[in-house]
């Protein structure tokens, strides 16, 4: 029998690392969603049977999951299960798993199919995408959006968040701006259902409404004071509309809204589409997040454009667009961009 090459195992280990990360990402996502990390943070030293009982899980299978996580250094069995330092650090980043694994896991299962000539779009779980996106946004997008709103100096009394996902992002804004009212507009009914639950949990039923509609339905909204004092926001939503309805539809929406409310302000957040930037091969955040993100948007029903492309579109709509980017301590690529739109 032919002897295996002497470096076979070393090469196999190297080449199957992506498979290890693929499985690990899935296990972490499900463990976070099932509450395994939260339960262990709350009650360290718990045994498998008690943990399974608490979470309504099968004890034998949960035991296998915990052993897997121990081998990846997220938990430790020390007369009961506890989180390691790595395990304690993970939940901060749960929304990344919710968006990319929960929301887009299905997308990548369809990669071969959608790459064929003439194929349609890949699917995604819109509820998970929207919820994960809102969760990530609390750290990067929220300060950017608030900074732009404050720059406006108009002190709006109502903020309309078009394409609000599960509303978590808008809720965070209202928590930080006690005088502000919110209206979340979202076409995905499951996201609106979740948004209504979150609204109750946060005690915001008096200040926050949700409408099941698309951004293009903005003219049909019943705005307080006939829209005086209303500002608008779209975070990662014009990219959706652009692919669904085309460039002219985005222009028409902006023009019609500013025609109706000439002194309003509109905060736009998008990603600067830079898949060939030198950063993509060298920057940790570009490699870990933006590389898959840019690919995902080419195969699902969304269209990313560069920041300069968006600036030109806003100029064509007769608007000024003050541009800003994320705090570099959170994301130093500069790929996340915000615009404050106004009619001069």
- Residue numbers of the site for ligand SAM (CB under 6 A)? 126, 129-130, 133-134, 137, 141, 162-165, 169, 186-188, 191, 214-215, 235-237, 240-241, 244
> Which stretch of DSSP H or E encloses residue 168?
helix 168-176
CB of 223: closest distance to ligand SAM in angstroms?
A: 17
If the CB atoms of residues 139 and 291 are measured against ligand SAM, the closer one turns out to be 139
CB of 104: closest distance to ligand SAM in angstroms?
A: 10
* Number of residue whose CB is nearest ligand SAM: 163
CB of 46: closest distance to ligand SAM in angstroms?
A: 34
If the CB atoms of residues 72 and 245 are measured against ligand SAM, the closer one turns out to be 245
DSSP symbol at 155:
-
If the CB atoms of residues 314 and 336 are measured against ligand SAM, the closer one turns out to be 336
Q: What is the b/e burial string over 79-118, where b = at least 16 CB atoms within 10 angstroms of the residue's CB?
A: eebbbeeebeebeeebbbbbbbbbbbbebbebeeebeeee
C-alpha 92/C-alpha 177 separation (Å) is 23
The CA-based diameter of the chain, rounded to the nearest angstrom, is 84
CB of 92: closest distance to ligand SAM in angstroms?
A: 17
Q: Rounded to whole angstroms, what are the CA distances from 294 to 58, 74, 128, 304, 306?
A: 38, 29, 18, 8, 12
Backbone torsion region of residue 334, taken as left when φ is above 0, otherwise alpha when ψ lies between -120 and 50, otherwise beta? left
Environment class of 73 (CB within 10 Å of its CB; exposed 0-12, middle 13-18, buried 19+): exposed
CB of 269: closest distance to ligand SAM in angstroms?
A: 7
Q: Rounded to whole angstroms, what are the CA distances from 37 to 44, 51, 81, 88?
A: 10, 11, 10, 8
If the CB atoms of residues 81 and 240 are measured against ligand SAM, the closer one turns out to be 240
If the CB atoms of residues 191 and 326 are measured against ligand SAM, the closer one turns out to be 191
CB of 135: closest distance to ligand SAM in angstroms?
A: 8
C-alpha closest to that of 340 among 232, 226, 261: 232
If the CB atoms of residues 69 and 164 are measured against ligand SAM, the closer one turns out to be 164
Dihedral sign computed on CA atoms, order 64, 69, 70, 72: positive
CB of 107: closest distance to ligand SAM in angstroms?
A: 13
Enter the tokens of residue 324: 């800003």
If the CB atoms of residues 66 and 144 are measured against ligand SAM, the closer one turns out to be 144
């Amino acid at each position: 029998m032919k002897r295996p090459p002497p470096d076979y195992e070393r090469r196999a280990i190297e080449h199957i690392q992506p498979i290890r990360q693929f499985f690990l990402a899935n296990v972490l996502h499900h463990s976070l969603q099932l509450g395994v990390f939260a339960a262990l943070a709350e009650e360290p030293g718990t045994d498998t049977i008690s943990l399974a009982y608490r979470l309504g899980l099968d004890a034998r299978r949960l035991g296998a999951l915990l052993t897997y996580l121990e081998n990846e250094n997220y938990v430790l069995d020390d007369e009961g299960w506890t989180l390691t330092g790595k395990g304690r650090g993970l939940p901060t980043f749960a929304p990344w798993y919710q968006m990319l694994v929960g929301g887009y896991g299905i997308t990548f299962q369809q990669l071969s199919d959608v790459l064929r000539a003439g194929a349609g779009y890949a699917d995604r779980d819109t509820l998970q995408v929207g919820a994960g996106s809102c969760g990530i946004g609390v750290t990067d997008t929220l300060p950017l959006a608030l900074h732009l709103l404050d720059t406006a100096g108009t002190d709006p009394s109502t903020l309309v968040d078009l394409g609000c996902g599960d509303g978590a992002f808008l809720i965070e804004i209202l928590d930080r701006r006690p005088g502000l009212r919110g209206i979340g507009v979202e076409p995905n009914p499951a996201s609106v259902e979740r948004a209504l639950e979150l609204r109750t949990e946060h005690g915001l039923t008096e200040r926050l409404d949700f409408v099941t509609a698309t951004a293009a339905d903005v003219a049909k909204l019943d705005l307080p004071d006939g829209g005086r004092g209303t500002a608008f926001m779209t975070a990662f939503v014009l990219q959706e509309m652009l692919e669904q309805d085309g460039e002219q539809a985005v222009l028409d929406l902006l023009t019609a809204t500013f025609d109706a409310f000439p002194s309003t302000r509109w905060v736009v957040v998008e990603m600067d589409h830079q898949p060939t930037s030198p950063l993509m091969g060298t920057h940790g955040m570009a490699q870990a997040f933006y590389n898959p993100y840019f690919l995902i948007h080419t195969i699902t029903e969304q269209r990313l454009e560069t920041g300069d492309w968006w600036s030109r579109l806003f100029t064509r709509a007769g608007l000024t667009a003050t541009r800003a980017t994320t705090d570099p301590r959170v994301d130093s690529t500069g790929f996340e961009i915000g615009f404050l739109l106004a009619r001069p």
